[in-house]
A and B are shown apart, each in its own frame.
Chain A
Amino acid sequence: MIFRQALKALLSHWRQHPVQFFSVLTGLWLATSLLTGVQALNSQARDSYARASQLIGGEPQASLTAPGGGTFPQQWFVDLRRQGWPVSPVLQARVLLKGHEDQRLQLMGIDPVSLPPGAALAGQAREMTEVVEFFTEPGRTWVAPQTLQALGLMEGDQPRTIDGRPLPPLHVQVDMAPGVMLMDIGFAQAVLGLPDQLSRLLLPATFSAVLPEAFNDRLQFKRADEENNLSRLTESFHLNLDALGVLSFVVGLFIVHAAIGLALEQRRSLLRTLRACGVSARVLVASLAIELGGLALLGGIAGVLSGYWLASLLLPDVAASLRGLYGAEVAGHLNLSIAWWLSGVGLSLLGALLAGADSLLRAARLPLLALANPQAWHQAHGRWLRRQRWVATVAALIGASALVWGDSLASGFVLMTALLLGAALALPVLLSSVLTWLLRRSRSVLGQWFIADCRQQLPALSLALMALLLALAANIGAGSMTAGFRQTFSNWLEQRLTAELYISPQTPAQAEELYVWLKQQPTISAVVPLWQVSIPLRGWPTDVHGIIDHPHYRQHWPLLESDGDKPWEQLASADTLMLSEQLARRLNVSIGDQLTLSTPQGPWALRIVGIYADYGNPKGHVLVNADHLLAHWPQLTPNRFNLRIEPPAIPALLTALQGRFSLDDSRIVDQARLKGWSTQVFERTFAATAALNSLTLAVAGVALFISLLTQSQSRLGQLAPLWALGVTRRQLMLLNLGQTWLLALLTLVLALPLGIALAWCLDAVINVQAFGWRLPLRVFPLQLAQLLALAMLATLLASAWPLYALYRAQPADLLRTFAHED
């Protein structure tokens, strides 16, 4: 009974202060929605990886592939089977469907019968009947429901490839990996025009034996974890998204904390009255906790709903960048579990508890008889500032040690968090001292009042200003990093992509023929063949490229570091290699070090003579001389030809090429298309980041607005005396605006160095740890000015409504504040 009445009395506060009520809700809602949105994106992506890796056999499989990555004769499958190897054939290739040329699809052909008995296929063990239907004319093409929907096709349809070959009828399988079309190997060979060719042999993950000698340099063994490295490769990408989500969560909680703290302060007298009426401290705290829980539940539900909406909005961009960067297919439709919804609401509850714990504690310790002391705020604020200064110092120390001793992505994030947190906590301290200093310099009465009152507002506004600082710094940091990366990346692309045409042969046999033919073409000024072997290098998936000694490389392959002034000559003559920046970092090697590659002929030790940038490639990249590569992998055939040719001669060459060889469109790429792809991948990668970033700025704006609004109601008491002394309402309003702007401007000025420091962290620490490349720090003044203007506009908008309310305040309202003084 007492409990109910107490709760009722407490809740009545929100009726009188609906703005506060909505600010708590908004804080919880924003915090939950951004974090759950990001989590939804990540879990969707991880679910897709798991489906892809467990598509066949229900677990990641080991496999045998040709070292060059091309196809090989089906007879090898039979030969290995007849030697007791439990291999199962796979033919996999990209395919374009007529009328759906914009969709990237993987066609995968398998033999369900030679899979280990009972092995799951697309999520479940299959009845033999289903297997028989799968390989009996007209067969089946298994697709995920999302893929079918994305294609706009129906079950039973038989789309054609761009070469006009029909696929077996489409059939939906819920557990299919997105973007994959699974069919029997017989149909796959026909559809792809690769009769009796395979691209992979699957092996149970547990199987291990020595490859028969006849296959020694024809096939190479890949362990299950090497084969399934999507989740490893994309790890940093998801970590980055997570970090953004957590940042927004923290900003949201700032708002909640501010609003709840304010509500408690305003209800001090109510709490005291309740205590005086005999309500125990325990009941009071319990009522407050229930109130908080209810708010958290409401905010959480709203947050999870909008998180879902946000995720479904961002998913296409995230999916596109994952596809472009890592070749990972992510379903384009959200499919979330109950656990996700519950954990979202749970997060909101946890956040509310975190943000409100301080208020609950204070309510519990509320001295029964102490009078409400208007100065108490200020004293408390002084203590709070001192405490904050200490915490900020500790954060700065943690950040410094993470910078000095840290050597991982996690320590990079510790550095960033410490930097942001330290700066945010130091902000009120700094603002307070700046204002104190200004106060001492001020001569005019109104000027002194202006600054002193500004300082008085600081406690109420500091949290919102901190949120503004964080959001702006994050925007400056991420913006500089993205813009800098874009510039670096496009310069690098410009240098590297110099061949006019890139041609990949379909089969090894075709490669030899193609090479001879290309060399005979008079219009081609240079044919630069490329051999490729994919091997794990100290466990990291790596592509080793064999290149010929050609002036092309000297001119167009920029090196970040090299051994002496003739690195390309060294590469041509001795057992040496060059490797990508990210691989060098991952393996922790530098110029002059030795690296050992395992080859079918035994270990091969090479000296590092060059390091080059290889932006956007999650795999390792190594260059060696082709003759040396072929000495160790004698069976290799070129897997690509880079052609130098005058652009006008290209169409004629293409016609001749198509007439002579069967090469589908995906095997001939011209420079412009390649550049287009790369830039597109880049843009989409940062589209999601940019969107999330502007959202954090919006959150900060909302925080500021709410703080100003809540504050404006208590401001009348301070403003009424000035009005009584003859300052007009118009002047009052301008003074107020000036105060808000002064605080915001000071915050923004502080955000500039913080943002640039953050950009440096991203360029030189986070990028290095997450992707392996270091970016030069670039500052773009125009971009900064734009951001500052945007932030000022946000401040103006945030202060507009409270000021308007003040401007419209009736003289009677102002007078009443005197009447209420006790």
Chain B
Amino acid sequence: MKIKIGVLLLALLSGCDDSAPVQKGFAGLGDSAVAFTPVVPGRPFSFPADHGVHEGFRIEWWYVTANLKDAQGRDFGVQWTLFRSALNAAPQASGWRNQTIWLGHAAVTSASVHHAAERYARGGVGQAGVQAAPFEAWIDDWQFSTQASAAEPLANLQLKARDRRFSYALRLTSNRPLVLQGEQGFSQKSEQGQASYYYSQPFFQARGELEIDGQRYTVSGPAWLDREWSSQPLTANQTGWDWFSLHLDNGEQLMLYRMRHKNGAPYLTGTWIDVQGRAQTLHAGEISLVPLDTANVSGRSMPVRWAIKIPGKQLDVITQSLNPNAWMDLRIPYWEGPVRLSGNQGGTGYLEMTGY
């Protein structure tokens, strides 16, 4: 759930931050008259096609986080994201005329180190892309690809990324169904109706190798996939975003986010996923999300400790960042890193904070 990043990417491409939906297109492009496909409720999902690219939609991402441990019990976090940003809504041509920008983000985090990297590519020539079957998402040598049968492409996947100071290669497996977020995959982002299509696989088990600054670790732990696409960026009023994906020790999963506004209360929502993978939308009244302590990260004050209460699910926990300096110092900068839970439930998860 990285809608803010997607929006920032759009801003980066269009040069106007916090813009209302940019429909004017670029440089007097004739195709700009073609409108992007709107996000409406009640769209049926169809797999494996929906693992692939959704042409006609402006932004889309494939996003994986993993909370890993090595044999000595040391904690690590891994992030892998591929964004697609279409500059126009027309069917994309092959070759350099293609008007898609692909952006990859990858990071590793330990208690003492956080390394982040990014890759940019244009669509149409093969440097980056996503194909639905057999499923493969890639940018340069970063790769997220299926190793399983065509019927269950997400049962077994390979996840790879590499940069100067880190690399990882993980095997992701799962035998649970996908979780459609919001109303059957229609996920509302504001009272005004901004929305996206959104599904997840929160039940991955990851295992593999991780290398940080020349040190190799054999690691395993839970991982989470988010898939989301939309055409409608956020409203100008929305300033930032705090988002949680949590693996509870009892096997339940929790997704939670808070959209902050320039004026007025934040928009708060979430999904409770039980052990069988059944999802239940949580509304603002059912959630209490409070920042506790802030830390100075890259010259900003960031809330790195949070209290989460969901009385209806008897959840009362505090999240603590594994490494408060999990700043993604990239062209679009933000905070993203693994967290640990304490309170009446243990667990791990990921926190993403933007707009600070």
Contacts and interface: CB of A to CB of B under 8 A. Distances in A.
A55 B13 CA distance: 22
A185 B122 CA distance: 12
Interface in A176-208: 184-187, 189, 195-196
B96 A113 contact: no
Interface stretch (A74-82, A381-389, A560-568, A733-741): A74-82
Interface in B13-46: 13-15, 26-27, 29-30
A117 B13 contact: no
A184 B95 CA distance: 12
Contacts of A136: 26-27, 29, 87, 99
Given A129-B13, A136-B29, A137-B27, A78 B118 contact: no
A137 B29 contact: yes
Interface residues of B, number: 27
Closest 7 CB pairs of A and B: A186-B96, A129-B15, A84-B141, A78-B126, A128-B12, A136-B27, A113-B122
A183 to B, nearest CB: 11
A592 interface: no
Interface in A80-104: 81-84, 86
A446 interface: no
A138 B97 CA distance: 11
Interface of B: 12-15, 26-27, 29-30, 87, 95-97, 99, 101, 118, 120-122, 125-127, 138, 140-141, 162, 330-331
Nearest to A75: B126
A185 B125 CA distance: 12
B96 A189 contact: yes
A186 B126 contact: no
Nearest to B122: A113
Contacts of A129: 13-15
**Most A CB within 10 A of own CB, among B12, B96, B331:** B96
A793 interface: no
Contacts of A74: 125
A194 B312 CA distance: 65
Given A84-B140, A132-B87, A186-B96, A114 B13 contact: no
22 contacts: A75-B126, A77-B127, A81-B140, A84-B162, A86-B140, A111-B96, A113-B120, A113-B121, A113-B122, A114-B122, A114-B127, A117-B120, A117-B330, A117-B331, A127-B15, A128-B12, A128-B13, A132-B14, A135-B96, A136-B99, A137-B27, A186-B97
A132 B138 CA distance: 22
B26 A132 contact: yes
Q: How large is the interface on A (under 10, 10 to 19, 20 to 34, 35 or more residues)?
A: 20 to 34
A118 interface: yes
Given A114-B122, A186-B97, A81 B15 contact: no
A131 to B, nearest CB: 8
B165 to A, nearest CB: 14
B26 A185 contact: no
A74 B13 CA distance: 25
A132 B126 contact: no
A410 B125 CA distance: 52
A195 B99 CA distance: 18
Contacts of A187: 96
A196 B126 CA distance: 12
A135 B122 contact: yes
Given A113-B120, A129-B15, A189-B96, A82 B127 contact: yes
A133 interface: yes
Nearest to B128: A81
A367 B48 CA distance: 107
Nearest to B143: A82
A728 B26 CA distance: 92
Given A78-B126, A114-B122, A117-B120, 5 more contacts: A84-B162, A129-B15, A136-B26, A185-B96, A196-B95
Interface in A108-127: 111, 113-114, 117-118, 127
Nearest to B25: A136
A523 to B, nearest CB: 40
Contacts of B95: 186, 195-196
Contact of A114 (B14, B99, B120): B120
**Most A CB within 10 A of own CB, among B127, B162, B330:** B127
Contacts of A111: 96, 122
Contacts of A185: 96
A481 to B, nearest CB: 51
A81 B127 contact: yes
B168 to A, nearest CB: 13
